[in-house]
Structure 1
Amino acid sequence: MQNKTEFLLDEYDEIYEGYGTLNSVYPYRDYTCYTRECGLHPVKTAVLENEYLRAVFLPEFGGRLWQLTDLKSGRELLYTNDVIRPSNLALRDAWFSGGVEWNIGLIGHTPLTMEPLFTARLETGSGLPVLRMYEYERIRRMVYQMDFWLDEGGAYLNCRMRVVNHNPEVTPMYWWSNMAVPEYEDGRVIVPADSAYSSGGGSVYKVPVPVVDGIDISHYRNIPGQVDYFFHIPEESP
C-alpha cells in the first residue's frame, strides 16, 4: 500500500517521498500463528527506578517502554494496555498497542515489534545503571542500540538512540518513536506549528493547523476519525 501513495505536496515540502519503500519484508516471515485469546503468561521486564520515576520495559517485545510512573503523584504518564494482544497492523502482521515503541527504518512499524532484543546492564562513569537493548535489522542491514538511564535525583528518563551503517552505500533510514498516552476528557495537543502532513484516500498532503475542515484538532476528542497529523515544526522551535 505504501508504494501506491500519491504525494500532493509543494516542491519545497521535501520529505523524500517514495524513497526507500519496500516490495516485501523478506527475509522476515509474517506472524500468522497467534490467536486473540487472552490468558496469563509470564513476561520478562527490565525496570529503571529512582525517587521520581519508574520505567518498565519489555525486552522480549521490541524493547517497548510499557509503563512510566511519576512516583511523586502516582500518575501513569503513558497509556498501558490491559493486555498484550496482537492485531494485523504492522509489516509482519502482529502489532500491539500501548506504551512507547521504537521503530527503525521502515514504514509500518518495526519488524521487531514482537521480537526479543539483546539486553545488557551497564553503568555510566558515575556508576548509574544503564539499560541497553540492541539488535541487527536485516532489511536495512543496520545495527541499532537504545540506551536508557535515570540521573540521580533526575525527573526525566534519558533515551539515547544509535544507528550504525556498516554498509559501503548510503542506506534509506529514519527513526521514529510512537507513544500511547491516555485520552483525557479535556485533553489537548499543543505544538508550535501552523501546518501538518496528513493522509487519506491514498494521498499525503499538507493541512493548516489547528483548524482542519472546521474542527480544532488540538482538542483531539473532536477529531471524527482515525488520522495522522505529522506537525511541521519550525527548526527554531524543536
Structure 2
Amino acid sequence: MGGTCGDTNLRGWYDGKNPIFAEKRVYQGSSGVVYPYPIIEKISDEKQDKIYQALFIENEYIKVMILPELGGRIHMAYDKVRERHFVYYNEVIKPALVGLTGPWISGGIEFNWPQHHRPTTFMPTEYLVEHNADGSVTVWCNEIERMFRMKAMQGFTLYPDKAFIEIKVQVYNRTALPQTFLWWANPAVVVNDDYYSVFPPDVNAVFDHGKREVSTFPIATGTYYKYDYSAGVDIAQYKNIPVPTSYMAIQSKYNFVGGYEAGDTNAGMLHVADHHISPGKKQWTWGNGDFGLAWDRNLTDENGPYIELMAGVYTDNQPDFAWLQPYEVKSWSQYFMPYAAVGHVKNATKELVLNMEVHQQRADIILYATAAFEGLNIVLRDKQRRIYLEEKIHCSP
C-alpha cells in the first residue's frame, strides 16, 4: 500500500536511551504516562511514499484490508453489493499528534487499548492467518504492550456467504498484579449533510466524558459542549453539530449502534455485540464548522470529513476502565456490517437488521439480511398477540 507519510522523520522526546516520563500529564481524563514508550513531539510536513504490508480478506459481499504494521487496524472495509466503503477509507497515511504517544491516523477501525487512542496505534503488531474448517479466514493481530506487560489479540474473520466482519478479541493479564484496561472499537465513517448516527430506540439521553454533561437525544434542548441547542436541534445529524462533541448512550438494552447516510446513498454501517459485555455506544465529531474542517485537512488530503461511532466493552462511558485480575483472560466478539435501504434501525442482530415505521395505522417493515435466508417467517403482532401480518419470504444481502 502506498501512502503519504512522514514517519521516517518522526522525532521523540528521548536522549537516545531513555524517554522522558510524562508522569504529570493528563490524557483524555486519565493518566498520560507512557513509560517505557517514547513520545513523538514532531511530525515532518514533507510527504514521502512508503510501502506498508496489507492483508486482504474477501468474500462475495465484503472486502477488508488490514494493516498489521499500524496497530493491527482495519484500514478499509468495502461493501461489494453497494460498491461503497462502509467505513471511512483514508487513502493516505497522514498522522497528527492525537494519540497517547503522538502519531494517530483517522479512518478505518482502530482499537483503543489499554488506554485511549492505543499507545501502539502507529506501531507494528505480529499477525497470523488462519484458514478455518468452515471455509472462513481469520487474520489475527497480536501484541504484548510494554506499559503493563499485557497481551491483546484481535481476530478479523470473514465467513463464506456472510455480509459481516466478526472481530474476536482476547485480552490477557500476564502479570501477578491486577491491571486496568479499556477497549473501545473505533470505526470512522464518511459524513455529509445527509448523515445521522443511529442509536437504539431506548436511548433518550446522552452523556459527555465522565458524565459531566447530559443532553436529551436525539433532540437537544439545552446547552451542550458550551453550544446553545435550546431551539431544539437534532444532534443525531452531523450537519447540526458545529463544535467538537462527544456523546455516549447509557443503559441501552439493545445490541447495536451505527450510522446511516440518507439521500441517494441510502446505506450505512452497523456494530452489533452483546450489550451485557459491550454496552458502550458513542459518537465523536470534530464538528461541522471551521475548526472541524481544519482538522479534516490535517488528517487527510482528499477524503473529507468523518465521525467516529465507537463501541466499548465493560463500560458505557469514558474514561472508565475495567479490571483484569492476575493471569485473567477476557474475550468477546463484535460484528461490523454494511446495510442499505433500511433507514433508522429499530433492532438488529448479526443476521438481520429491522426497521418499522408506523404512520396513520400503516406499518412499513424493512428487513435487511446479512446472509441468504429461504422461507423466513415474518410475523407482526401486538401485545395482545393479535396477528396483523404473517408470511414467508426469501431474503439476502
TM range (shorter): 0.7 to 0.9
Which one scores higher on RCO, CA 8 angstroms, separation ≥ 6? 1
Q: Give the match for residue 230 of structure 1.
A: 248
SS in 2 for 1:47: strand
Q: CA deviation at 1:4?
A: 9.1
TM-score, scaled to structure 1: 0.85
Q: CA deviation at 1:209?
A: 1.6
Candidates 54, 70, 82, aligned match of 1:61: 70
For residues 171-186 of structure 1, what are the structure 2 equivalents within 5 Å? 171-186=179-194
Q: Give the match for residue 171 of structure 2.
A: 163
- Higher CA-based Rg: 2
Candidates 193, 206, 214, aligned match of 2:214: 206
Candidates 195, 200, 214, aligned match of 2:205: 195
SS in 2 for 1:111: coil
Candidates 45, 54, 66, aligned match of 1:36: 45
Q: CA deviation at 1:233?
A: 4.0
- Provide structure 2 residue ranges, at least 5 long, that are not aligned to the other structure: 1-24, 223-228, 256-274, 276-397
Mark the CA change 1:102 to 1:189 in structure 2 (over 3 Å): closer, same or farther: same
Candidates 129, 134, 143, aligned match of 2:151: 143
Distance in 2 (alpha carbons) for counterparts of 1:41 and 1:65: 18
Distance in 1 (alpha carbons) for counterparts of 2:145 and 2:86: 30
2:144 is the alignment partner of 1:118: no
Q: CA deviation at 1:184?
A: 2.8
Q: CA RMSD in A?
A: 2.1
TM-score, scaled to structure 2: 0.52
Distance in 1 (alpha carbons) for counterparts of 2:55 and 2:102: 26
Q: CA deviation at 1:33?
A: 5.4
- Provide structure 1 residue ranges, at least 5 long, that are not aligned to the other structure: 6-20
2:86 is the alignment partner of 1:87: no
Mark the CA change 1:220 to 1:139 in structure 2 (over 3 Å): closer, same or farther: same
SS in 2 for 1:110: coil
Candidates 102, 109, 114, aligned match of 1:100: 109
Render the CA deviation track for 1:70-103: whole Å, top value 9, x for unaligned: 1122111111123111111111111111111012
Distance in 2 (alpha carbons) for counterparts of 1:182 and 1:113: 21
For residues 20-31 of structure 1, what are the structure 2 equivalents within 5 Å? 21-31=30-40
Distance in 1 (alpha carbons) for counterparts of 2:48 and 2:254: 49
Mark the CA change 1:164 to 1:216 in structure 2 (over 3 Å): closer, same or farther: same
